Structure 1
Amino acid sequence: MDGLIIIDTLDTILFFFMALSVGYLFVFAAAGMSKRGYSYPFAKKKYRFAILFPAYKEDKVIERAVQSFLQQEYPKENYDVVVISDKMKDSTNQQLQQLPIDLLIVDFEDSSKAKALNLAMDKLGDRKYDMIVILDADNTVQPDFLQQICNAYECGANVIQAHRMAKNLNTSTAILDAVSEEINNSIFRKGHVKLGLSSALIGSGMAFEYKWFKKNIKKVSSAGEDKELEMLLLKQRIYIDYMDDVPVYDEKTQKEDAFQNQRRRWLSAQFASLWEALPDLPYAIFSKNIDYCDKIAQWVMLPRVLLIGATGVLSIATTLINWEWSVKWWILLFVLFLALCMAIPDYLVNKQLKKAIRKVPLLAIMMFFNLFRMKGVNKKFIHTEHGEH
């Protein structure tokens, strides 16, 4: 009898914490279902931009991405494209040198995007820019991208996250990667902005006020540079806007091993950021820095795949032990699936998604083992192999 009481207590405690995570996702997923109620007016001034493409072993995609960006319907004298070439082939660098861009060739012993960005800012020196845009080497944008960012900046948006979305859906893994990103967009970006909170950053498709970025990028050193930038911004109470109608097309990982390596790096960055941010939580609470408190709450939560797996396993386990205990777990699992379904955009709901979902249990198991394989990952760059298109 005492054993059942202990199990019942543990069951209640576990349910409480899992329910907080599921409730959090549900609230912001529901908020993210509504469309943005306003758009920025056309800017009266043409602001100056620096566009950074950190490129580590990105020979397959970098030239195509840069060529695409150079098609902007924006005065060419008002933006400079800078490629930071790290461990790319001489032939790739020679091709890039033929383009109207600044090419910085580096050879870091331990490569990271943070090092590339810091070097680029040093090289730009005293050039006069209003904003800096960071794109991945495989990212492409629409011709009005810079004008849209310009419009937002003139209205006071000093930090902007654009809508990163999939450019390829050619494998089940790529589809799941795209779905995961769109769920993040709905919950941690669109839903947050709808409720007056800052958007999460995503690593590319980001724009920053130039002077702020130049000063603060020196404080960033890990492979989770976007999370470090988020901490700096939210500590300083700088709002991060999200522009859902400004797409940045990103190549999704096509193979399971690349998917898992990517998630392992993200997990490591999340735990490292949480460890660094937790000491600031009491001050954030007392100073009513809601955005910073919310960010810590995000990092405390289990990754979604693990949350699904854990809730499913506990639902089955409590059914076998005592079906009365299991009712609340099955309800929680239903609410979790409902939240995730609300967050998936219609264009991804098709037969291919139904087929891809079969991989989720395997990915959940692999993600669980990733929890024990994170040592040192946050200090180095894990290259994601790109396919040919």
Structure 2
Amino acid sequence: MIKHWSRLDFGALAIYLLVVIGGPIAILASIADSFAPFIQHFGWFLFLLVISISTWVLLLTMYYIFLTIFGFGRARRDYPLAAPRSRFLVLIPAHNEEAVLGATLANLKQIDYPRALYRIVVISDQSTDETAAIARQFGAQVIDTNRRLFRRVGVGKPAALQYGLDTLANTGQLRAADYVLVLDADNFADPSILRELNSQFLAKPYTAIQAYLDSKNDDRLLSLGYAMSYWTMNRFFQLSKYRLGLDNSIGGTGFAVNVDWLVAHDGFQSRSLTEDLEMEIRIVESGGSVGWNHWMRIYDEKPEHLRASMIQRYRWSRGHWYTAFHNVGPLLAHFFKSGDVRYLDQINYLFSMRQNIQYLLALIFALGWGISWVVPQGGAYPMWLADVERSYFVPMTLINWAILLEGFLPMIAGYWYDAPIGWLSCPRRWWRSIGSR
């Protein structure tokens, strides 16, 4: 990897490490003597408990910082392009998607792969519009859940996928394929997607491969923010883990799964609202592996309005925590039994939202500290609580927000490497996004 680095890569990495490592250490050293009020009011036991949790959070944050190092440098394909051999089922679950499905199917007609080796199947999931009719117009096979030929297991997208899987298994079409590729109804895909997946699966025995997730709509402020976060995660999380041989994350769309694994492990059945995360954990627990493909892209439509974004984030958060608490035990058991660090890495990812909670708590207590400055001595605000806030929560706020700001450094680098627009056009793009609100 390092042999492909430029001087600019090394310079950016040096500055990044200096700020990332030096910042929190300097802040922590400057406030280490100020914890006395916390100990005085709450005792050593609670102090040690809180500081242990905080240290754990910071160490895991440093782990993510370590991961980002392996995202620098040009991404080079590490497998040979092979002749088409693998057979694919492209499944598109769609609920009342008549507005976008036609464009998606038109885009998929450009796929550069022998037509005899793949089949496009639209799963019209309880649709009341023209979704099924549009799919048939474009020559796609249609599975309509309204016919109720099989028992619907679960809700939402995973239920639709499982219904489609049951139908295809019943007709013999499932076993006629090697892999199932899942796309959303509004996705576009690079024409080379199946050639790349075929080559990577033949070169490396992955159970599933996640494609690079890009954005279709980065022309508004909110959707551009989503796009930039994806560019960052794709390079400094997904690509980094791929280079280290760790399991990658399944992103809900643009991923391909081995048919044999689906048949042996209950397909797309899911107990949570985050079926992608749950499938990722199931694959790892079963001894499989999840790979990453950085050399072809799926273009996904990101939320453009705050309400839609909040609903999506709320749904994802609920499902994420559910999956985390229900799988931490089995993953720990697998780790102690095998010693494989991949299980610890999955636990770390499952609890990656821990930092958000600490940010929120630290911010609340920092606001309380600010209130203590304006409330007169002896007023309604307890001064002992103000002392505790000044001694612990404010310093931790400073450290957490320093780390949060440092997160913008890989975001900038991710934009630089992978954004589909020029680096110098960044300010103009942001300005247009603000103006389009």
TM-score bracket for the superposition, by shorter chain length: 0.7 to 0.9
**Equivalent of 2:409, from 336, 341, 345?**
341
Moved more, 86-95 or 301-310: 301-310
Matched, 1:115 2:159: yes
How big is the shift at 1:333? 3.0
**Equivalent of 1:285, from 317, 335, 338?**
335
Aligned to 1:227: 277
Aligned to 1:240: 290
Cα 1:318/1:204, change in 2 over 3 Å: same
Aligned to 1:385: none
The alignment partner of 1:245 has SS state of strand
Aligned to 2:40: 5
How big is the shift at 1:236? 2.0
Output one character per residue of 1:284-323: Cα deviation in whole Å (capped at 9) or x when no partner: 2212232222111211232665565556666777898587
Q: RMSD across aligned C-alpha pairs, in angstroms?
A: 3.1
Aligned counterparts of 1:17 and 1:324: Cα–Cα separation in 2: 19
The alignment partner of 1:242 has SS state of strand
Task: Report matched runs for 1:195-210 at 5 Å.
Answer: 195-210=244-259
Contact map agreement 1:51 1:79 (CA 8 A) in 2:
yes
What TM-score do you get using the length of structure 2 for normalisation? 0.73
Cα 1:313/1:124, change in 2 over 3 Å: same
Q: Which amino acid aligns with 1:234?
A: V
Aligned-pair identity in percent equals 22
Contact map agreement 1:135 1:206 (CA 8 A) in 2:
yes
How big is the shift at 1:241? 1.0
Aligned counterparts of 1:57 and 1:304: Cα–Cα separation in 2: 37
Cα 1:138/1:169, change in 2 over 3 Å: same
Q: Structure 1, unaligned stretches of length 5 or more?
A: 359-389
Task: Report matched runs for 1:318-333 at 5 Å.
Answer: 321=387, 330-333=398-401
The alignment partner of 1:103 has SS state of strand
Task: Report matched runs for 1:1-389 at 5 Å.
Answer: 3-6=38-41, 9=47, 12-107=51-146, 111-125=155-169, 126-127=172-173, 128-158=176-206, 159-218=208-267, 220-221=269-270, 222-286=272-336, 287-302=338-353, 308-310=359-361, 321=387, 330-343=398-411, 344-346=414-416, 347=419, 350-351=426-427
Contact map agreement 1:82 1:101 (CA 8 A) in 2:
yes
Moved more, 187-196 or 235-244: 187-196
How big is the shift at 1:257? 0.9
The alignment partner of 1:345 has SS state of helix
Aligned counterparts of 2:77 and 2:132: Cα–Cα separation in 1: 42
Aligned counterparts of 2:429 and 2:399: Cα–Cα separation in 1: 24
The alignment partner of 2:61 has SS state of helix
Contact map agreement 2:224 2:433 (CA 8 A) in 1:
no
Cα 1:282/1:331, change in 2 over 3 Å: closer
Contact map agreement 1:53 1:84 (CA 8 A) in 2:
yes
Q: Which amino acid aligns with 2:191?
A: P
What TM-score do you get using the length of structure 1 for normalisation? 0.81
Contact map agreement 1:22 1:336 (CA 8 A) in 2:
no
Aligned counterparts of 1:309 and 1:90: Cα–Cα separation in 2: 42
How big is the shift at 1:228? 1.7
How big is the shift at 1:120? 1.2
Cα 1:81/1:335, change in 2 over 3 Å: same
How big is the shift at 1:268? 1.1
Q: Give the number of aligned pairs.
A: 358
Contact map agreement 1:163 1:246 (CA 8 A) in 2:
yes
Q: Structure 2, unaligned stretches of length 5 or more?
A: 1-35, 371-385
Aligned counterparts of 2:236 and 2:268: Cα–Cα separation in 1: 28
